[in-house]
Amino acid sequence: MRHIPVRRLSLLFAAALVFSGCRPAAGPVPTAPALEQPVPKQSGFPQELVSFVQQGDGPVFQAAGAGHWDVKIRERGWIIREDSGYKLWYTGYDGTANGRRMLGLVTSPDGVTWTRHPGNPLVRDHWVEDVMVVKDGGRYLMFAEGENDRAQLLTSPDGMTWEKLGRIDVRLASGAPVPDGPYGTPAAFKDGDRWLLFYERSDKGVWLAASNDLKVWTNVRDEPVLVPGPGAYDRDMIALNQVIKHGGRYYAYYHGCATSGPDARKWSTAIAASDDLVNWEKFPGNPLLPVAENKSSGILVDTGAGFRLYTMHPAVYLHVPGPR
């Protein structure tokens, strides 16, 4: 996703992943795993997924500012709740258009008060931006944007020491490599035996790819499954942050904006629902938060006692259940 015109680069992963920055050699054409037949469509968006109010008067976490490595923070961060508390990975940089995006970590006992890790930035030698993390089998897996908006995978045994495994290999439905260019905001989701990857291309739409082996991802179809509009809040640009399954349906938290008019480049958080992960219905009450607030890169976090909505850009705000 894009918030400013710069060079750019939910939820489970498993198994030993082997990626490289190169395309595999020619061989049998990979095909996308068949998706299940759509189930009968259900109506409605549960209140617990759409009704949130900001807690407190300001952000619960923000950039350290001048004189620090994270003069600013940007794009999607990711929160995991564990027995010991909450972990939040985020992208910090020097505030310049081309400043390297680096990875930071903060922790919290309650998801409200955060403490920076003393070893920040955890990754400083290459570009890491727009991140999502899942803990699997004693290790952490991170899907993120690399430099020039190419999706990449990193792995860590402890959430602090990260190894870059390489770019994610995405193919057209034919098996040919996707056309060169940005493919960012990677949002992965495992549904039964299916591994799915949602990604955007220059914020013009969201595509869906699937994989049997977590190595090569093949487009389910070569057209986007989620596009901008028709509402003014996401008229021109769109990116998907997270997919969850709740009450038998799939829900996607995404953000969008218009590129002209009084709210140009003001990103807002929204939700869509699907019965098959391909055909999506946008919530009639979108956006979930006022466009004027310019809060985006939202993700839902299950506290064990209910849901919270965190927006990550340009600072981390906490939203708790409440009437809209």
pLDDT > 70 fraction of the chain, expressed in percent and rounded = 87
Assign residue 180 a region (left: φ > 0; alpha: ψ between -120 and 50; beta: otherwise): beta
Cα–Cα distance measured from residue 26 to residue 68, given in angstroms and rounded to the nearest whole number: 46
**pLDDT attached to residue 43:** 53
Q: What is the CA radius of gyration of the chain?
A: 18
State the amino acid at position 187 in one-letter form.
Answer: A
Q: For the segment 284-299, what is each residue's pLDDT rounded down to a tens digit?
A: 999 999 999 999 999 9
Q: Which CATH number fits domain 47-321: 3.40.50.720, 2.115.10.20, 3.55.40.20, 1.10.10.10?
A: 2.115.10.20
Percent of the chain with pLDDT over 90: 80
| Span of 15-19, 122-126, 198-202, 289-293 with lowest mean pLDDT | 15-19
pLDDT in tens, 162-192: 999 999 999 999 999 999 999 999 998 988 7
Which residue did the predictor score with more confidence, 247 or 2?
Answer: 247
Residue 114 or residue 15, greater confidence: 114
Strands (E), 15-55: 52-54
Indicate the pTM of the whole model.
0.87
Residue-wise pLDDT for 295-314, tens only, equals 999 999 999 999 999 999 99
